[in-house]
């Protein structure tokens, strides 16, 4: 039945993804027009808009997942989900998985699109290997001791993944706690947000306390990710517990 | 069928079926609907329907044949007895109503004679 | 057997269900009666596990209601609850996906009896059609317990007859049916037991035919006797 839960979680968020795809397609067309007509203004606008769409889109997908959970807990539509014979662990697990997969797919999609677009740009206006060089120089400016290679890129991606898992579960836990206590009153969203901030602060504190500052930056990042992952797991089980025991839909 | 909700429903359904047996609408030996079908037909609770059959069986007006269902009795004597019982009840109701209207018993009987068919 | 053991539910200061204790056994149709706000809906939601009680418990065959009991207990709320992007067919598919006791053939049969077609979108349904859809999908389950909250609400006469017929067909030796309704006359012949609620408390639990032969009262008459406001002198 878990597969079914996952299927319906995806279905619930389908329209926003379609809309995101639509906007991206329009902007991409604009970009291509810019390339063909060699109009720098059009190119600049479309690149900026595409970048914003990518960032907002990926983050938005994450936020949407929390909003969907909120709706499931506080409106009648929630009956559909909570009257089925599924444990809170499974229900929440399907949501986390849907969220993770959607964001991963979106990140990969936008990443690939970005890479393609930049390649197109450079093949029209310059050479392709300059791309890597520019990126490396950019990175070096921000993090002097870092070498941009596949290893470090992987660590960065891992870090983003773990941080996001932690943040999503923070969002879920904050919302479930607020909903259990306030039962859908207007203040619920605000309280959930405050709880979310509190949990973020808590995790940040844990990371700073548990991971020694003396470690090289790569190893620090890896340990940060481990702490984030542990927090994510802890919050996931806590959220499921509160949902199972305390939540009235 | 319209019930009087202030009286036990099983009794009202049983009475309706008894009348059907006397009028011949339910022929002797005819198979009766199953308990569930009776419930659906009369739009009553299935337990009520079961009670109806219990009553009719205990009065000897129906018999259950194992594995086959419930059947109207073929015992003519029983059916005549039922006809007489129902007729007497009808007569009693008439006499009670006539008395309520102020007629003497003789008047009430005479009224029947006057009634042209 | 569904046992409600001294169950209490509070919403803030208000006590919606107050120490309700009763046992429901298979093979019976229970009419759940009482004015708005007397706790009938809340009790049904507690029995489904959608609400968590402040104290007390509801047991299904000895175990507290929860994930497992939802496999065998079917609940139909008064309000519409289907996802707005669904069609009538999608609703059936959803139930089929999550409830092993869902019977698609029965669903199709009930839909045709209620004159609902599979392609209709739930967001386009009138309130009457929505009411029929809720009933159709709930009774298409071969559940052990059916908790129907206001099954006749907003439904036309012909469809009500269909629903009454379906309820009788569903009622059997193994099922427990609980119907709450304001249309008491509709339930007179369907139910065999009545449970009366007032201000969260269970005030009367009785066998209907016995009540009729003992005191010559209909369920509606008893309701009036219990709830009619006293005349102000």
One domain, residues A68 and A118:
yes
Same domain? A183 vs A109 = no
A99 and A197 part of one domain: no
Query: Does B53 lie in the same domain as B31?
Result: yes
Q: For residues C171 and C144, what is the distance between their CA atoms, to the nearest angstrom? A: 10
Q: How many domains does the structure of chain B reveal?
A: 2
Neighbouring chains to B with at least 3 Cβ pairs closer than 8 Å: C
Q: Provide the pLDDT for residue B65.
A: 86
State pLDDT tens for residues C165-215. Answer: 999 999 977 899 999 988 888 899 999 999 999 999 999 999 999 999 998
Assess whether B96 and B63 both reside in one domain.
Answer: no
* Domain assignment present for A188: yes
Predicted local distance difference test score (pLDDT) of residue A134: 65
Tell me the nearest-neighbour CA distance from A212 into chain C, angstroms.
44
Rounded to whole angstroms, the Cα distance separating A188 from C111 reads 39
Residue B39 domain boundaries: 9-74
Residues A170 and A86 in one domain: no
Is the confidence at residue C151, as pLDDT, over 80?
yes
The percentage of residues in chain C with a pLDDT greater than 90, rounded to a whole number, is 71
CB C148 within 8 A of CB C179: yes
DSSP states of C164-230: HHHHHHH--SS-EEEEE-S-HHHHHTT-SEEEEEETTEEEEEEEHHHHHHHH---HHHHHHHHHPPP
Sorted by where each begins, the domain ranges of chain C are 2-227
Residues of C in contact with A84 (CB under 8 A): 70, 98-99
Same domain, B82 and B49: no
Number of folded domains in chain A? 2
C43 touches chain A (CB under 8 A): no
**Which chains reach chain A with 3 or more Cβ–Cβ distances below 8 angstroms?**
C
End-to-end Cα, chain A, rounded Å: 21
Same domain, A118 and A192: no
B19 and B53 belong to one structural domain = yes
Q: Is C206 on the interface with B (CB under 8 A)?
A: no
Neighbouring CB atoms inside 10 A of B5's CB total 20
B86: Cβ contacts below 8 Å, ≥ 6 apart: B18, B19, B22
Superfamily of domain C2-227: P-loop containing nucleotide triphosphate hydrolases (3.40.50.300)
A166 neighbors A231 (Cβ within 8 angstroms): yes
Q: For residue A180, is it within any domain?
A: yes
Residue B52's closest chain C neighbor by CA?
A: C209
Q: Which pLDDT does position A190 carry in this prediction? A: 82
Q: Of A71, A91, A126, which residue constitutes the final position of a domain?
A: A126
Do B51 and B92 fall within a single domain? Answer: no
Which residue out of A16, A17, A84 would a mutagenesis test of the C interface target, given it has the greatest number of C Cβ atoms within 10 Å? A84
**A175 — phi, psi (to 5°)?**
-65, -40
Pair (A100, A33) in one structural domain: yes
Among candidates B42, B43, B46 on the partner chain, residue whose Cβ is nearest the Cβ of C172: B46
The shortest C-alpha distance from B39 to chain C (Å) reads 7
Choosing from A97, A126, A155, the residue where a domain stops is A126
Element holding A227 (H helix, E strand): helix A217-246
DSSP, collapsed to helix, strand or coil, labels residue C148 as strand
Q: Are A215 and A223 in contact (CB under 8 A)?
A: yes
- B67 shares a domain with B18: yes
In eight-state DSSP terms, residue A75 is: S
The predicted structure's pLDDT at residue A184: 57
Residue A190 belongs to what domain range? Answer: 146-249
Write out pLDDT tens, residues A80-92: 999 999 998 999 9
Q: Is B44 contained in some domain?
A: yes
Average pLDDT, chain A: 82
What are the beta bridge partners of residue C15? C10
Q: Please compute the mean of the pLDDT values over residues C66-71 and round it to a whole number.
A: 92
Last residue of a domain, one of A95, A126, A157: A126
Chain-wide mean pLDDT for chain B? 89
pLDDT in tens, C26-55: 999 999 999 988 999 999 999 998 898 999
DSSP assignment, residue C75?
A: E
Other CB atoms within a 10 A radius of the CB of residue B110 amount to 12
- The reply to whether B67 and B91 lie within a common domain is no
Same domain, A221 and A181: yes
- C48 and A CB contact within 8 Å: yes
Q: Is the pLDDT of residue A146 over 80?
A: no
Question: In angstroms, rounded to a whole number, what is the distance separating the alpha carbons of residues C187 and C179?
Answer: 8
B to C contact (≥3 Cβ pairs closer than 8 Å): yes
Nearest-angstrom CA–CA distance, C189 and B5: 8
Same domain, B87 and B31: no
Q: Within this chain, do residues A2 and A111 fall inside the same structural domain, yes or no?
A: yes
CA atoms of A40 and C165, how far apart (whole Å): 73
- Asked if the structure places residue B1 within a domain, the reply is no
Residues B61 and B85 both lie in one domain:
no
**Domain identity same for B14 and B66:** yes
Of these ranges, B66-70, B76-80, C105-109, the one predicted with the greatest mean pLDDT is C105-109
| Test mutation, A5, A15, A76, A85, chain C, max C CBs within 10 A | A85
Which of A104, A86, A106, A103 has its CA nearest to residue A94? A86
Q: Is residue B95 part of a domain?
A: yes
A212 and C CB contact within 8 Å: no
At A166-215, the pLDDT tens digits run 888 998 999 888 888 776 566 777 888 888 899 889 888 888 888 777 77
Quick one: which H or E segment has residue A198?
A: helix A187-210
Range in A19-28, A134-143, C171-180, C192-201 with the lowest mean pLDDT? A134-143
């Amino acid at each position: 039945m878990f597969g079914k839960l996952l299927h319906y979680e995806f279905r619930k968020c389908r329209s926003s993804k379609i809309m995101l795809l639509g906007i991206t397609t329009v902007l991409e067309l604009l970009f291509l027009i810019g390339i063909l007509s060699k109009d720098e203004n059009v190119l600049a606008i479309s690149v900026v808009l595409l970048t914003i769409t990518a960032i907002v889109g990926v983050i938005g997908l994450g936020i949407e997942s929390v909003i969907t959970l909120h709706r499931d807990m506080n409106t009648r539509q929630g009956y559909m989900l909570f009257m089925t014979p599924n444990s809170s662990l499974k229900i929440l697990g399907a949501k986390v998985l849907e969220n993770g997969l959607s964001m991963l797919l979106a990140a990969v999609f936008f990443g690939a699109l970005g890479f393609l677009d930049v390649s197109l740009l450079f093949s029209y206006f310059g050479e392709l290997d300059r791309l890597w060089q520019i990126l490396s120089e950019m990175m070096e400016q921000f993090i002097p001791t870092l070498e941009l290679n596949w290893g470090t890129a992987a660590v960065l991606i891992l870090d983003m993944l773990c941080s996001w898992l932690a943040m999503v579960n923070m969002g879920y836990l904050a919302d479930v706690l607020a909903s259990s206590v306030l039962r859908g009153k207007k203040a619920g969203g605000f309280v959930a947000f405050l709880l979310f901030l509190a949990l973020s602060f808590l995790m940040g504190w844990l990371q700073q306390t548990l991971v020694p500052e003396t470690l090289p930056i790569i190893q620090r990042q890896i340990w940060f990710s481990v702490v984030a992952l542990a927090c994510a797991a802890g919050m996931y089980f806590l959220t499921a517990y509160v949902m199972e025991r305390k939540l009235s839909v | 069928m319209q019930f009087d909700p202030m009286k036990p429903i099983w009794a009202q359904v049983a009475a309706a079926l008894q009348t059907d047996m006397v009028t011949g609408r339910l022929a002797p030996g005819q198979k009766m609907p199953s308990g569930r079908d009776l419930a659906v037909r009369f739009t009553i609770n299935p337990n009520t329907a079961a009670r109806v059959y219990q009553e009719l069986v205990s009065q000897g007006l129906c018999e259950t044949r194992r594995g086959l269902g419930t059947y109207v009795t073929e015992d003519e004597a029983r059916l005549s007895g039922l006809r007489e019982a129902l007729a007497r009840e009808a007569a009693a109701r008439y006499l009670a109503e006539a008395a309520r209207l102020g007629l003497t018993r003789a008047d009430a009987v005479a009224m029947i004679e006057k009634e042209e068919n | 057997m569904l046992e409600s053991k001294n169950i209490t539910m509070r919403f803030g200061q208000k006590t919606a269900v107050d120490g309700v204790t009763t046992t429901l056994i298979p093979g019976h149709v229970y009419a759940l009666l009482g004015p708005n706000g007397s706790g009938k809906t809340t009790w049904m939601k507690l029995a489904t596990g959608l609400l968590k009680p402040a104290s007390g418990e509801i047991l299904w065959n000895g175990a507290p209601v929860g994930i497992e009991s939802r496999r065998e207990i079917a609940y139909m709320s008064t309000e519409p609850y289907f996802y707005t992007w669904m069609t009538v067919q999608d609703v059936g598919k959803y139930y089929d996906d999550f409830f092993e006791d869902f019977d698609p053939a029965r669903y199709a049969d009930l839909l045709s009896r209620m004159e609902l077609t599979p392609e209709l979108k739930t967001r386009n349904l009138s309130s009457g059609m929505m009411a029929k859809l809720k009933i159709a999908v709930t009774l298409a389950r071969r559940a052990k317990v059916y908790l129907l909250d206001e099954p006749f609400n907003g439904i036309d006469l012909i469809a009500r007859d269909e629903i009454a017929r379906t309820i009788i067909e569903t009622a059997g030796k193994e099922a427990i049916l609980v119907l709450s309704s304001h249309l008491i006359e509709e339930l007179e012949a369907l139910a065999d037991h009545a449970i009366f609620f007032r201000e969260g408390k269970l005030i009367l639990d009785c066998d209907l035919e016995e009540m009729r032969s003992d005191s010559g009262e209909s369920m509606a008459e008893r309701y009036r006797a219990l709830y009619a406001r006293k005349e102000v002198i």
